[in-house]
């Protein structure tokens, strides 16, 4: 009952990555396929790539490339083997997610049509759906339980994403209810969302939303430039509390019985910062603050800390490192194999630089 | 757990904070911006200057200063002291009159506004009817005569400003009392001159603009005399004995009219046009002053030939066949002549000409042959050439101080010494030596009042770098900021023009006899000469200055003049970076061969950075004989002992094109740069016009400004918006080196400390280099070695503005040589050192040598302000003598000043200091090591502020009431000398004993320099008593500030 399996594997070596493919055949017990993790370990063992993260996919009976990343689809794949199961392994950093999906394998073979009809290349790219374990929070609504329902506290995780934050703020005035009646007070508003930016993609922020707080600090009384500086200083872990311009989608909770939401918030506003203070400690949000230190032996390390939040993501470290190497002209030797050299952080880095070059002087040119 | 201890929760700490910190703006140094009026009181010997922003400033003897601010933001047009009184009247350009007085409170005089008044005409009258043109305070001090545009002279009673309508001298009344033939010629129009008869208080002179001058009898209400000239009248002067009137006219001439009881109008016996015969500009003011010798002084403003010299700002002095037209570089606002103050004296005997020009105060000694200028002890024109940077050095050792003064005194030989001119004020013994040292060479004629401020506890230097390549050394110890020495770096370089050319251009037999006076010269030959960074080692006398075109000069103080070649070394900061092209300015060409240097700081090494970008940071370590410099491209280390470059490091980011092109690449021509600097001057003027100390603004004004604000909001077309984007590594100018710092600390391991150099960039990178400096005996034989030991990339990537190493006791490491001179405890090398990195956004403390993060304060993330300036300072307690703490003084981009504690980085206090729009003010701020600071409030003025309760330099002075003075003068004929002395003694009984001994001491010392030195040295040795004094001073200062807060 042994079955042969065929593999295509991308190697870690940069020279052979594009052309080289390694093939392995081995057999599996169809009736007792075991767990996905065991299978994954087996693949790594067979290919002698114990520490490389890979994506596993298989060709189903229709010729589609489908992923194997949990027990269910693993079992499904084994059961559909007829009798050979073709499994494809890609190094995760270089993974081409668009390869997965219906008709993918068939189309791939159809090289000739691609050459003859170059329009095909311009076809709308497939929507990228990454593996569940690759999901990383981009944004979240937090502190729903302690905020008035007219307010929304949004956390943007700039961390690890290459996407720009992508929004603009402006001065404006908003109407508050005070003991002396309605009063116009200056406020800060979101003025523009950059298409494709992080802020827009979350759907949690909109133009004309009033910004009330930045990382727990009230913006009232602060100038536009001050608020800008605060947001940029917190840009790696930005938490903004807004009063959405559109109040219709609010969830009316039982605890609050107010019907006219807009005005009730205005009333509650002066009191509520104290109310939320205990729940929010900006000082706790320090996971983003690990400076990089390079000793004279050339091995970069993050600065050790007594209390360290382990949340820190490797991907960030790598991005930082690649910047470093660009700046100093050296590549730390221990990192060579891991650095995504060929797949182009560096090349991308250079080609994108011209349009990204912002001239932010910040007054530092003044040398008086 | 510490983070839960919020500031404000610990009452003991709050109490201590009150003893340590206190914010005061104490004194404004320099020349008032946009002066608009001059006043002088001969009896008080006090000068008053009014400005376009409505400030009035009074100056007497050095240290005697007062400042007042009108509530209205209007220009002061005229200032008049009431004769013999401590009161003055100001006229603003909104036609309001204000009465100010100097009142003694708690032993010191204070300037305060008593009353204000606006002249109202009868209902329906034209506004010009009451538009005041001339103010005459009557000698009775009860009445004020106000000449107006309508020709009427109104009378108001002081001090309440009660209008006496029945006493008004209307032009109709005058007309009726004039003979028939005069009435035909519409002789009136506005009043141009009002004078009281020098001897007879019942007569006043009224001059009308059409040329009619009448002498009016106040009691009889009749015209005693009248004179009619054919020319427009500008001004008149009444000779001291009242027998002659001199009038000056718009055609550039003046006439003398003998006054006789004969009411018949005489024809002018003599009309003189001094710079005729071609058309001349008007003579706007004239003085006719008698002397004992017989020949009068004629001093007048203007009158220059219109075509060829009409654009000059001149004041001419004519006496005894001599004539000089003093030619000022800026517009003359007003002038006065200091004469015999005693009204009973027979002659004027003028001794000094005081000219208020737009950009400086010039005083000319009229008693010394050649009429040399006198160097004022205050009101220095800081902006003779635009200030480009400043550097403060506290507590200068006496030796260096004397050498700098000696070098400076040789530069001031063209100034008058004015010895014996005016009496020196008797001094309390404590400050005698100090004062004498400063005034050994000259006496200042405007010396009213007594400064009660104790002698400064230490000698402080403020160094300002200027656009023309000079560095000026100012004595910043006390209230008077005084120029000690001027260093020019121009000699080292080849420039287009020889600096000596322009001075020698004037020939001998030139007519008119122009003579340039004053030091204001805003025109820089070459903007590349501008000084950008200064670093002085006060122990060794080594000085490093760096400029706009990448030039770094190392200078050494030499008491002798010398001629030597300056060694040139080039530092290529780009190193192996390829394919870059510098599009900025060229480097300066050094003058080849030996150069002659006058005594003072003499350069011996020139390090030229390549590309020649602006030097953005500079550090000097005089013990190791190293100088470090940084530009937007990188930084380098130079061994000035061996005259050898140790290393350079390029900090450029490969994408940073801007840094390579250079900030001045767009400056195409000198003309353009001139235009820019004019624009800059104008801009800063506009900004300072808005500057007003936060007083209670008038309600009307507030309402109006609010209306304006809301109006603006409604009008607003496109809202200002700001992009929110995380900083990336690719921003421009990341390689810009912002700060350099030498430290002897644990860089590699915790067992051995070694010399190190730290550099911080605009992109949030800190580089640390371990240095190996050979021991002194082999210093010339072995090279200095440097090796990069660490590199820190701050994740928030904000510019690094300060680096500091704290020793085991969390005290900042001392300056080089400080320990060697026994002026500081040696640093604690046992405990672990800490590194403090201050970026624009955060303060961060790292443990050394591991560079592990210990603490931080995220300033920007919390309040949106950015650090612009930071300085370590120690603060003494005003209660406990020995107690002191080290903290950071911080200035943010919002103009706030904060104190952040070391090493725990807790914000202590916060004061708003500078308006946030005042970018040049914020950029110019310097902190001292004792919690004081300076910043520019205008191109020509430094505001001095203090954060400390203990170190406070502010004017405290007494101006004695006039009654005693008048009395003493009347009974004591030869006058001012004794009179003023006596008056001062009467001012304060408490230490009268000491004061009476003053004059004796003074004479002894003046004649014997050796004695002077001795006194000085005893004062030096007596620093313990200084401490006593300091605590006493602090207590006074504390009480004072309370009083100030209430008033």
pLDDT tens for residues B317-332? Answer: 999 888 999 999 999 9
CB-count burial class (<10 Å; 0-12, 13-18, 19+) for B560? exposed
- Tokens of residue A14, six digits: 């940069």
Q: What is the pLDDT of residue B641?
A: 92
Cα dist from B866 to A285, B621, B862, B916, whole Å: 20, 29, 10, 12
| Shortest Cα distance, chain A CAs vs residue B654, angstroms | 7
A164/B726 Cβ within 8 A: yes
Q: Is A294 on the interface with B (CB under 8 A)?
A: yes
Cα(B99)–Cα(A224) distance, rounded to whole angstroms?
A: 43
A361 neighbourhood in chain B, CB within 8 Å: 732-733
Q: pLDDT tens-digit profile of B439-468?
A: 444 578 898 888 888 888 889 999 999 999
Residues 307-326 of A with CB under 8 A from B: 320, 323-324, 326
* Residue of A183, A239, A273, A364 for testing the chain B interface, max B β-carbons within 10 Å: A364
Q: Which of B500, B469, B471, B476 is nearest to B487 (CA)?
A: B471
**3-state class (DSSP) for residue B510:** coil
B732/A359 Cβ within 8 A: yes
Q: pLDDT tens-digit profile of B54-105?
A: 999 999 998 899 999 999 889 999 999 998 889 999 999 999 999 999 999 8
Q: Is B799 on the interface with A (CB under 8 A)?
A: yes
User: Across residues B623-631, what is the average pLDDT?
Assistant: 94
* Residue of B724, B730, B918 for testing the chain A interface, max A β-carbons within 10 Å: B724
- By the 8 A CB rule, do B80 and B97 touch? no
B729 neighbourhood in chain A, CB within 8 Å: 323, 326-327
Task: Annotate B815-825 with b (16+ C-beta within 10 A) or e (fewer).
Answer: bbbbeeeeeee
Q: pLDDT tens-digit profile of B119-143?
A: 887 777 777 788 999 999 998 888 9
A230/B863 Cβ within 8 A: yes
Name the phi and psi angles at A266, rounded to 5.
-55, -40
**3-state class (DSSP) for residue B439:** helix
Q: What is the pLDDT of residue B405?
A: 92
User: Across residues B734-751, what is the average pLDDT?
Assistant: 91
| Shortest Cα distance, chain B CAs vs residue A143, angstroms | 20
- By the 8 A CB rule, do B152 and B176 touch? no
| Shortest Cα distance, chain B CAs vs residue A196, angstroms | 14
Cis upstream peptide for B512 (omega within 30°): yes
**3-state class (DSSP) for residue B952:** coil
A304/B850 Cβ within 8 A: yes
- By the 8 A CB rule, do B97 and B91 touch? yes
**Residue ranges, chain A, pLDDT below 70:** 1-21, 94-136, 159-161, 249-289, 296-368
Cα(B35)–Cα(B345) distance, rounded to whole angstroms?
A: 32
Q: Is B719 on the interface with A (CB under 8 A)?
A: yes
pLDDT band at B592 (very low <50, low <70, confident <90, very high): confident
Q: Which of B613, B864, B650, B861 is nearest to B761 (CA)?
A: B650
B795/A290 Cβ within 8 A: yes
Smallest CA–CA distance from A213 into chain B, residue: B862
- Tokens of residue A73, six digits: 């689809």
Q: pLDDT tens-digit profile of B107-119?
A: 889 999 999 999 8
- Tokens of residue A351, six digits: 């080609």
Q: Is A233 on the interface with B (CB under 8 A)?
A: yes
Q: Which of B510-514, B775-779, B936-940 has the lowest mean pLDDT?
A: B510-514
B3 neighbourhood in chain A, CB within 8 Å: 283
- By the 8 A CB rule, do A5 and A85 touch? yes
Nearest beta carbon to residue B864 from set A172, A230, A324:
A230
Nearest beta carbon to residue B853 from set A225, A234, A303:
A303
A165/B725 Cβ within 8 A: yes
- By the 8 A CB rule, do B553 and B532 touch? no
DSSP state, B871?
E
Query: Residue A175 forms beta bridges with which residues?
Result: A184
* Cα-based angle A78, A80, A84 (whole degrees, multiple of 5): 75
- By the 8 A CB rule, do A282 and A215 touch? yes
Whether the predicted pLDDT of B426 surpasses 80? no
B721/A191 Cβ within 8 A: yes
Nearest beta carbon to residue A294 from set B762, B790, B856:
B790
Q: pLDDT tens-digit profile of B772-825?
A: 999 989 999 999 999 999 999 998 889 999 999 999 888 999 888 877 776 677
Cα(B474)–Cα(B471) distance, rounded to whole angstroms?
A: 10
Q: Which of A157, A163, A152 is nearest to A128 (CA)?
A: A163
B852/A305 Cβ within 8 A: yes
A169 neighbourhood in chain B, CB within 8 Å: 721-722, 724
Q: Is B865 on the interface with A (CB under 8 A)?
A: yes
Cα(A358)–Cα(A348) distance, rounded to whole angstroms?
A: 17
- By the 8 A CB rule, do B20 and B1034 touch? no
Q: Which of B466, B370, B367 is nearest to B418 (CA)?
A: B367
Element (H, E) at A272: helix A272-276
User: Across residues B850-875, what is the average pLDDT?
Assistant: 91
Nearest beta carbon to residue B726 from set A158, A303, A368:
A158
Cis upstream peptide for B49 (omega within 30°): no
User: Across residues B557-580, what is the average pLDDT?
Assistant: 86
Nearest beta carbon to residue A294 from set B721, B732, B791:
B791
* Cα-based angle B615, B617, B619 (whole degrees, multiple of 5): 120
DSSP state, B1018?
H
* Cα-based angle B792, B793, B794 (whole degrees, multiple of 5): 110
Q: Which of B327, B442, B317 is nearest to B375 (CA)?
A: B442
Locate tokens 């107690």: which residue? B883
CB-count burial class (<10 Å; 0-12, 13-18, 19+) for B248? buried
**Alpha helix ranges (H) inside B284-427:** 306-309, 398-409
Element (H, E) at B327: strand B322-328
Cα(A53)–Cα(A135) distance, rounded to whole angstroms?
A: 15
Rg of chain A on CA atoms, in Å: 26
**3-state class (DSSP) for residue B131:** coil
A368 neighbourhood in chain B, CB within 8 Å: 387-389, 920, 923-924
Nearest beta carbon to residue A168 from set B723, B729, B865:
B723
- By the 8 A CB rule, do A135 and A313 touch? no
Q: A-B interface: how many C-beta pairs under 8 angstroms?
A: 182
B721/A168 Cβ within 8 A: yes
Higher model confidence: residue B429 or residue B498?
B498
Q: Is A35 on the interface with B (CB under 8 A)?
A: no
What percent of chain B lies above the pLDDT cut of 90? 45
Tell me the ipTM for this assembly. Answer: 0.74
User: Across residues B1006-1025, what is the average pLDDT?
Assistant: 45
**3-state class (DSSP) for residue B513:** coil
Q: What is the pLDDT of residue A253?
A: 58
CB-count burial class (<10 Å; 0-12, 13-18, 19+) for A97? middle
B722/A170 Cβ within 8 A: yes
Cα dist from B777 to B390, B744, B774, B780, B781, whole Å: 36, 19, 8, 8, 9
CA B600 to chain centroid: 23
Locate tokens 């791939």: which residue? A108
What percent of chain B lies above the pLDDT cut of 70? 78
- Tokens of residue A365, six digits: 């040119």
Q: What own/partner pairs with CB < 8 Å and gap ≥ 24 does A138-145 have?
A: A138/A198, A138/A201, A138/A202, A139/A198, A139/A202, A139/A204, A141/A204, A142/A239, A143/A276, A143/A279, A143/A280
Smallest CA–CA distance from A185 into chain B, residue: B710
- By the 8 A CB rule, do B355 and B300 touch? no
| Shortest Cα distance, chain B CAs vs residue A49, angstroms | 33
Residues 148-207 of A with CB under 8 A from B: 158, 164-173, 191-192
| Shortest Cα distance, chain B CAs vs residue A283, angstroms | 9
Cα(B763)–Cα(B426) distance, rounded to whole angstroms?
A: 58
Cα(B273)–Cα(B318) distance, rounded to whole angstroms?
A: 13
Locate tokens 């400030």: which residue? B55
Q: What is the pLDDT of residue A213?
A: 92
Name the phi and psi angles at B928, rounded to 5.
-95, 175
Locate tokens 């709050």: which residue? B14
Higher model confidence: residue B826 or residue B893?
B893
**Alpha helix ranges (H) inside B198-350:** 306-309
Q: What is the pLDDT of residue B749?
A: 86
Residues 173-212 of B with CB under 8 A from A: none
Higher model confidence: residue B166 or residue B766?
B766
Q: What is the pLDDT of residue B950?
A: 84
- By the 8 A CB rule, do B19 and B32 touch? no
- By the 8 A CB rule, do B489 and B543 touch? no
**Given phi > 0 = left and psi -120 to 50 = alpha, else beta, which region is B663?**
alpha
The count of C-alpha atoms lying within 13 angstroms of the C-alpha of B306, restricted to the half-sphere facing its C-beta, is: 12
Q: pLDDT tens-digit profile of B688-715?
A: 444 444 344 333 344 444 444 444 444 4
CB count within 10 Å of CB B575 equals: 16
- By the 8 A CB rule, do B153 and B146 touch? yes
pLDDT band at B624 (very low <50, low <70, confident <90, very high): very high
Smallest CA–CA distance from A361 into chain B, residue: B732
- Residues shown for chain A: 368
Q: Which of A115-119, B179-183, B266-270, B866-870 has the lowest mean pLDDT?
A: A115-119
Whether the predicted pLDDT of B555 surpasses 90? yes
Cα dist from B176 to B179, B206, B212, whole Å: 8, 15, 14
- By the 8 A CB rule, do B597 and B491 touch? yes
- Residues shown for chain B: 1047
Locate tokens 């235009």: which residue? B675
B924/A223 Cβ within 8 A: no
Query: Residue B283 forms beta bridges with which residues?
Result: B302
CB-count burial class (<10 Å; 0-12, 13-18, 19+) for B789? buried
């Amino acid at each position: 009952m042994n079955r042969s399996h065929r593999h295509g594997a991308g190697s870690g070596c940069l020279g052979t990555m594009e052309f080289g493919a390694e093939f392995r055949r081995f057999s599996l017990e169809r009736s007792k396929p075991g767990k996905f993790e065991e299978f994954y370990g087996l693949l790594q063992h067979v290919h002698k790539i114990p520490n490389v993260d890979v994506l596993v996919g298989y060709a189903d009976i229709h010729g589609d490339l489908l992923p194997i990343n949990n027990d269910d689809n693993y079992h499904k794949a084994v059961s559909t083997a007829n009798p050979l199961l073709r499994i494809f392994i890609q190094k995760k950093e270089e993974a081409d997610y668009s390869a997965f999906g219906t008709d993918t394998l068939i189309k791939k073979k159809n090289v000739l049509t691609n050459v003859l009809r170059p329009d095909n290349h311009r076809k709308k790219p497939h929507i990228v759906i990454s593996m569940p374990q690759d999901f990383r929070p981009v944004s979240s609504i937090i502190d729903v339980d302690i905020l008035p329902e007219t307010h929304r506290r949004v956390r943007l995780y700039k961390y690890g994403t290459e996407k720009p934050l992508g929004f603009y703020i402006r001065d404006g005035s908003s109407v508050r209810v005070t003991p002396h009646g309605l009063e116009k007070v200056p406020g800060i508003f979101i003025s523009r969302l950059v298409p494709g930016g992080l802020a827009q993609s979350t759907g949690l922020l909109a133009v004309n939303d009033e910004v009330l707080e930045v990382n727990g600090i009230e913006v009232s009384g602060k100038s536009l430039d001050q608020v800008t500086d605060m947001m940029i200083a917190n840009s790696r872990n930005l938490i903004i509390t807004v009063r959405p311009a559109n109040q219709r989608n609010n969830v009316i909770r039982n605890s609050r019985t107010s019907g006219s939401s807009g005005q009730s918030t205005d009333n509650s506003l002066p009191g509520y910062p104290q109310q939320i203070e205990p729940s929010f400690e900006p000082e706790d949000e320090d996971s983003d603050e690990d400076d990089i230190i390079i000793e004279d032996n050339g091995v970069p390390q993050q600065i050790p800390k007594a209390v360290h939040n382990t949340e820190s993501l490797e991907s960030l470290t790598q991005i930082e490192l690649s910047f470093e190497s660009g700046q100093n002209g050296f590549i730390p030797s221990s990192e060579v194999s891991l650095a995504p050299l060929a797949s182009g952080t560096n090349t991308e880095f250079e080609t994108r630089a011209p349009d990204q070059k912002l001239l932010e002087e910040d007054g530092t040119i003044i040398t008086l | 757990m510490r983070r839960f201890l919020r500031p404000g929760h610990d009452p003991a700490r709050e109490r201590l904070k009150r003893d340590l910190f206190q914010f005061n703006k104490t004194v404004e140094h320099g020349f008032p911006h946009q002066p608009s009026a001059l006043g002088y009181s001969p009896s008080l010997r006090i000068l008053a200057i009014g400005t376009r922003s409505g400030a009035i400033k009074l100056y007497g003897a050095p240290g005697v200063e007062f400042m007042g601010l009108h509530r209205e933001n209007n220009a002061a047009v005229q200032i008049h002291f009431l004769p013999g009184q401590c009161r003055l009247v100001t006229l603003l350009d909104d036609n309001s009159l204000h009465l100010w007085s100097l009142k003694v409170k708690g032993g010191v005089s204070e300037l305060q506004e008593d009353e204000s008044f606006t002249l109202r005409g009868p209902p329906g009258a034209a506004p010009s009817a009451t538009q005041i043109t001339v103010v005459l305070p009557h000698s009775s001090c009860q009445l004020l005569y106000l000449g107006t545009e309508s020709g009427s002279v109104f009378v108001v009673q002081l001090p309440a400003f009660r209008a006496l309508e029945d006493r008004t001298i209307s032009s109709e009344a005058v007309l009726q009392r004039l003979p028939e033939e005069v009435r035909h010629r519409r002789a009136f129009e506005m009043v141009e001159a009002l004078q009281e008869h020098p001897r007879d208080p019942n007569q006043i002179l009224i001059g009308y603009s059409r040329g009619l001058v009448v002498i009016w009898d106040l009691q009889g209400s009749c015209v005693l005399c009248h004179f009619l000239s054919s020319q427009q009248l500008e001004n008149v002067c009444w000779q001291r004995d009242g027998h002659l009137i001199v009038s000056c006219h718009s055609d550039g001439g003046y006439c003398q009219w003998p006054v006789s009881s004969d009411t018949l109008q005489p024809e002018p016996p003599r009309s003189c046009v001094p710079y005729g015969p071609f058309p001349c500009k008007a003579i706007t003011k004239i003085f006719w002053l008698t002397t004992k010798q017989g020949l009068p002084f004629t001093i007048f403003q203007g009158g220059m030939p219109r075509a060829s010299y009409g654009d000059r700002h001149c004041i001419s002095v004519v006496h005894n066949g001599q004539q000089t037209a003093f030619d000022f570089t800026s517009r003359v606002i007003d002038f006065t002549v200091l004469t015999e103050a005693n009204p009973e004296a027979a002659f004027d005997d003028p001794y000094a000409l005081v000219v208020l020009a737009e950009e400086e105060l010039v005083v000319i000694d009229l008693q010394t042959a050649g009429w040399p200028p006198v160097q004022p002890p205050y009101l220095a024109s800081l902006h003779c050439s635009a200030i480009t940077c400043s550097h403060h050095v506290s507590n200068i050792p006496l030796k260096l101080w004397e050498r700098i003064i000696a070098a400076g005194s040789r530069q001031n030989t063209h100034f008058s010494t004015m010895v014996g001119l005016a009496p020196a004020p008797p001094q309390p013994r404590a400050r005698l030596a100090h004062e004498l040292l400063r005034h050994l060479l000259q006496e200042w004629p405007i010396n009213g009042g007594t400064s009660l401020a104790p002698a400064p506890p230490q000698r402080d230097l403020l160094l300002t770098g200027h656009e023309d390549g000079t560095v000026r050394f100012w004595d910043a110890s006390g209230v008077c900021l005084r120029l000690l020495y001027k260093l020019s770096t121009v000699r080292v370089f080849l420039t287009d023009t020889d600096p000596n050319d322009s001075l020698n251009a004037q020939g001998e037999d030139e007519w008119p006899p122009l003579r340039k006076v004053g030091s204001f010269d805003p025109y820089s030959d070459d903007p590349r000469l501008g000084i950008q960074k200064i670093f002085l080692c006060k122990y060794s006398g080594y000085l490093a200055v760096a400029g706009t075109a990448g030039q770094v000069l190392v200078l050494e103080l030499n008491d002798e003049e010398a001629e030597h070649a300056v060694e040139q070394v080039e530092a290529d900061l780009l190193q192996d970076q390829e394919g870059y092209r510098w599009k900025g300015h060229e480097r300066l060409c050094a003058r080849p061969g030996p150069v002659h240097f006058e005594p003072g700081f003499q350069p011996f090494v020139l390090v030229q950075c390549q590309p020649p970008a602006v030097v953005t940071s500079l550090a000097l370590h005089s013990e190791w004989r190293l100088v470090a410099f940084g530009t937007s491209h990188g930084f380098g280390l130079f061994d000035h002992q061996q005259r050898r470059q140790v290393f350079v490091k390029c900090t450029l980011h490969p994408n940073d094109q801007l840094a390579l092109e250079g900030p001045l690449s767009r400056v195409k021509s000198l003309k353009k740069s001139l235009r820019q600097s004019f624009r800059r001057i104008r801009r800063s003027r506009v900004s300072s016009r808005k500057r007003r100390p936060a007083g209670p603004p008038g309600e009307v004004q507030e309402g109006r400004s609010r209306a304006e604000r809301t109006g603006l909001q409604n009008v607003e077309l496109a809202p200002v918006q700001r992009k929110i984007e995380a900083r990336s590594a690719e921003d421009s100018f990341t390689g810009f080196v912002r700060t350099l710092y030498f430290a002897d600390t644990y860089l590699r391991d915790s067992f051995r400390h070694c010399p190190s150099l730290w550099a911080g960039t605009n992109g949030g990178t800190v580089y640390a280099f371990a240095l190996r400096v050979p021991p002194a005996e082999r210093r010339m034989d072995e090279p200095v070695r440097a090796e990069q030991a660490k590199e820190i990339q701050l994740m928030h990537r904000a510019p690094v503005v300060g680096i500091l190493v704290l020793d085991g006791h969390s005290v900042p490491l001392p300056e080089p040589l400080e320990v060697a001179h026994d002026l500081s405890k040696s640093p604690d090398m046992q405990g672990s050192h800490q590194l403090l990195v201050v970026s624009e956004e955060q303060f961060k403390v790292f443990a050394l040598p591991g560079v592990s993060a210990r603490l931080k304060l995220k300033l920007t993330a919390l309040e949106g302000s950015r650090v612009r300036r930071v300085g370590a300072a120690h603060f003494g307690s005003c209660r406990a003598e020995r107690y002191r703490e080290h903290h950071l003084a911080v200035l943010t981009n919002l103009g706030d000043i904060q104190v952040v504690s070391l090493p725990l980085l807790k914000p202590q206090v916060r004061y708003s200091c500078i308006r946030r729009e005042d970018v040049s003010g914020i950029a110019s701020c310097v902190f001292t090591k004792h919690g004081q600071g300076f910043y520019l409030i205008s191109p020509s003025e430094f505001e001095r502020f203090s954060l400390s309760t203990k170190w406070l330099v502010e004017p405290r002075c007494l101006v004695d009431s006039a009654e005693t003075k008048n009395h003493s003068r009347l009974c004591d004929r030869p006058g001012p000398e004794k009179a003023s002395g006596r008056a001062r003694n009467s001012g304060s009984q408490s230490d009268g004993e000491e004061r009476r001994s003053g004059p004796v001491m003074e004479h002894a010392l003046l004649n014997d320099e050796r004695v002077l030195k001795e006194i000085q040295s005893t004062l030096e040795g007596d620093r313990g008593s200084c401490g006593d004094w300091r605590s006493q001073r602090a207590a006074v200062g504390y009480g004072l500030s309370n009083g100030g807060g209430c008033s």
